[in-house]
A and B are shown apart, each in its own frame.
Chain A
Amino acid sequence: DAMVIQNPRYQVTQFGKPVTLSCSQTLNHNVMYWYQQKSSQAPKLLFHYYDKDFNNEADTPDNFQSRRPNTSFCFLDIRSPGLGDAAMYLCATSRVGQGTDTQYFGPGTRLTVL
């Protein structure tokens, strides 16, 4: 089945130690998104790629970076995680420009910062 895959599902890191989260998709969608979701809150958009074009949200900290080496893969790098970065990180995709705005989410990566 076509899907959005995130690895790992659970990530534990130490304060200040860089971490990379991975997302891949088999849907061939042109847009990929990274969201941060804290407990009992709506997902908060960090940034997204429309094809190769990177779009950063104005309030996304510089500590968060992203790479999209090809259509299928997208990475979230947290350069120096703080305790406040502990959250669920959700990757999503959509096909923009063909009449549908539906987002397809991966299962998420739960990040713990010690």
Chain B
Amino acid sequence: GNSVTQMEGPVTLSEEAFLTINCTYTATGYPSLFWYVQYPGEGLQLLLKATKADDKGSNKGFEATYRKETTSFHLEKGSVQVSDSAVYFCALTSSGGSYIPTFGRGTSLIVHP
């Protein structure tokens, strides 16, 4: 079956530091890959996505590249802000008609001033 593995948190950084949150996946075929973000007390919202190998998703300074050879979709940001403090979920939907996403366990990011 499908699975998503994320690095354990919390990740604690100072403002303006570089961020990487690792995500690897197991799936058959060519899944679509997503990063969702959940701010405290809110629902999840799509941060970025990529639907085929070598695609780069980007939004709000965050980037992730779909790497089929390493089955990875690592999230990066060059300079984090306090407002980026949230929980980040990596997710996939598999090709072949299954629209139900598989979520990773989530990684909490805490950014200090």
Interface residues of A in 5-59 (CB under 8 A from B): 6, 31, 40-43, 45, 48
Contacting B99 at CB < 8 Å: which of A4, A90, A94?
A94
Contact B105 A43 (CB under 8 A): no
Partner of A48 from the list B46, B100, B103 (CB cut-off 8 Å) is B100
Which of A60-68, A69-77, A98-106 is near enough to bind chain B?
A98-106
Name A44's closest neighbour in chain B (CB-CB): B103
Q: Are B49 and A102 in contact, CB atoms less than 8 angstroms apart? A: yes
Question: CB-CB < 8 A to A82: which residues of B?
Answer: none
Total A-B pairs, Cβ < 8 A: 47
CB A107 to nearest CB in B, in angstroms, measures 5
Q: A101 contacts which of B45, B89, B101, B106 (Cβ < 8 Å)? A: B101
In the complex, whether B85 has a CB less than 8 A from a CB of chain A is no
- Check: B72 CB closer than 8 A to any chain A CB: no
Residue count of chain A within 8 Å CB distance of chain B: 22
B103 touches A101 (CB 8 A): no
B44 near A101 with CB under 8 A, answer no
Interface size of B by CB at 8 A reads: 20
**A105–B106 touching, CB < 8 Å:** no
Known: A101-B32, A101-B101. A41 touches B44 (CB 8 A): no
Using Cβ atoms and an 8 Å threshold, which residues of chain B touch A41? 105-106
Give complex CA distance A43, B49 in Å. Answer: 18
Query: How far is A40 from B45 in the complex, measured between Cα atoms in Å?
Result: 17
A108 an interface residue at 8 Å Cβ cutoff? yes
Binding site for A on B (CB under 8 A): 32, 34, 36, 41-46, 49, 89, 93, 99-101, 103-106, 108
Known A-B contacts: A42-B106, A102-B46, A106-B43. Give 13 more (CB < 8 A).
Answer: A40-B106, A40-B108, A41-B106, A48-B100, A90-B44, A94-B99, A101-B32, A101-B34, A101-B93, A103-B36, A104-B46, A107-B42, A107-B43
